[in-house]
Amino acid sequence: MTTIDLRTPLKFAYWVPNVSGGLVVSTIEQRTSWDFEYNKTLARIAEDSGFEYALTQTRYAASYGADKQHEATSFSLALLLATERLKVISAVHPGMWHPGVLAKFIITADHLSGGRAAVNVVSGWLKDEFVNFGLPWLEHDERYVRTEEFIRVLRGLWTEEDFSFPGKYYDIKNFTLNPPPIDVPGRPHPEIFFGGNSTAAQAAAGRTADWYFSNGRDIEGFKENIAGVTRAAAEAGRAPRFGLNGFVIARESEKEARETLREIVAKAHRPAVEGFASAVKEAGQSTKDGKGMWADSTFEDLVQYNDGFRTQLIGTPEQIAERIVEYKKIGVNLFLTCYLHFQEEVEAFGRDVLPIVRELEADLARKNGTELDTGLLPPIGAARDARHSLATAR
Ligand SMILES: Cc1cc2nc3c(=O)[nH]c(=O)nc-3n(C[C@H](O)[C@H](O)[C@H](O)COP(=O)(O)O)c2cc1C
């Protein structure tokens, strides 16, 4: 059974556009850039608008609409240094990184940022990246065996001295990393997120991760993910929290928002989306039970490459806020959001949607005999020079 935490306010994250082409594979106008200046301004807008986290993407090769990519860990560090409160979650592949080298890198990033570094461990789907780098490409469920070991090593090196781990994929002997990560109250080590949807992913995440991240899903669908992760977590005596991806289209009217979605899909870059549909067969569809990420995604779903339309954060700010709180009722703790025009829409989300979410969350808590703990809300800054530079850039 999942215990629904109605006291803690929902947390919000955004996808860092550190690869080119925006977050939808469409020729529709996207005022989103993958360069650093754009992203620096975006990160400052986000932390001043009530966002607590940003998530970078890891890609090494051009694929399906992302012709150019900035490397995730270095980009995350740069964003940490450009902000004051935002936590930046760096996507990392166990098959590409040695966990000891990554553990050390993240400790340094944590010290440079006052305890704001985090990782999203992703097991990979883009076979060519591995094969063409000359790295082993493991069978689907075996990737999660390695991922679990990877996370155990990360956590061990972050929390123990003289740490040893004799595993199938990693063999660590009496290692102590000094300094350890920054001591942040309530955080035993940099947070470990885990992205994946398949049965194997859910089980591995439940056993090892602090946070389970999923592609976009409808409410009934996400209940299944929560149940799968919670089962494995309970056996391991753990209680991970849940994050869900959603593509936000907030407009003055629902009609306008739906029209924008129609235009995104109508202008989809068809060959890229079809190529993507073929490549992702290495994910969910390649599993024994055929479940998992992208296993049943339609053409429309794949235009947002993490199934973000399925979460249906599309409509007026009120409609979106109501939908968000419906997800809170089933156990979602964090929304990972993406947009067409990131800078403008992240700011608008903070201004128009978040205040309604907070009201609805407070009502929900009261109706259930508790209080929303507003002391846990991230501070919303006077959006200082970020907004200024946005205004001058227009
Ligand atoms: C929130 C989230 C973020 C992800 N980010 C990346 C990424 O940056 N790079 C990448 O190669 N895969 C990324 N993935 C995909 C995973 O690597 C993996 O292929 C996918 O979760 C496989 O799903 P499956 O276990 O359902 O087959 C991400 C997945 C999720 C849910």
pLDDT value for 270 = 85
- Taking CA atoms only, the protein residue closest to ligand 1 atom 13 is 122
Q: Are 302 and 264 in contact (CB under 8 A)?
A: no
Q: Which atom of ligand 1 is nearest to the CA of 245?
A: 1
Closest ligand 1 atom to Cα of 295: 26
Mean residue pLDDT of the chain comes to: 93
Residues 6 or more apart whose CB falls under 8 angstroms from that of 217 comprise 225, 244, 307, 310, 311
For ligand 1, atom 8, name the residue with the nearest CA: 57
Q: Specify the pLDDT at position 72.
A: 98
Which H or E element spans position 161? none
Task: Quote the pTM value.
Answer: 0.94
Pair 65, 372: CB distance under 8 Å: no
Number of neighbours of residue 44 by Cβ within 10 angstroms: 24
Compute mean pLDDT per 10 residues along the chain, 394 residues long, and list them.
Answer: 87 98 92 97 98 97 87 98 98 97 98 98 94 96 98 98 98 98 97 96 98 96 97 97 98 98 92 79 65 72 90 98 98 98 98 98 98 93 50 45
**In this structure, which residue's CA is closest to atom 17 in ligand 1?**
124
Tokens of 332: 């979602």
Nearest atom of ligand 1 to the alpha carbon of 287: 27
Choose one of 75, 293, 337 to mutate for the ligand 1 pocket test, by most ligand atoms within 8 angstroms of C-beta.
293
Nearest CA to ligand 1 atom 21: 196
- b/e code 137-164 from CB counts within 10 Å (16+ = b): bbebbebbbbbbbbbbbbbbbbeeeebe
Q: In terms of DSSP bridges, do strands 163-166 and 171-175 run parallel, antiparallel, or are they unpaired?
A: antiparallel
**How close is the Cα of 9 to the center of ligand 1, in Å?**
26
Dihedral angle at the C-alpha atoms of 22, 28, 29, 31, nearest 10 degrees?
-20
Residue 171 backbone dihedrals phi, psi, to 5 degrees: -130, 95
Residue to probe by mutation, ligand 1, list 76, 121, 122, 337, most atoms within 8 Å of CB: 122
Which domains are delineated in the chain? 11-393 (3.20.20.30)
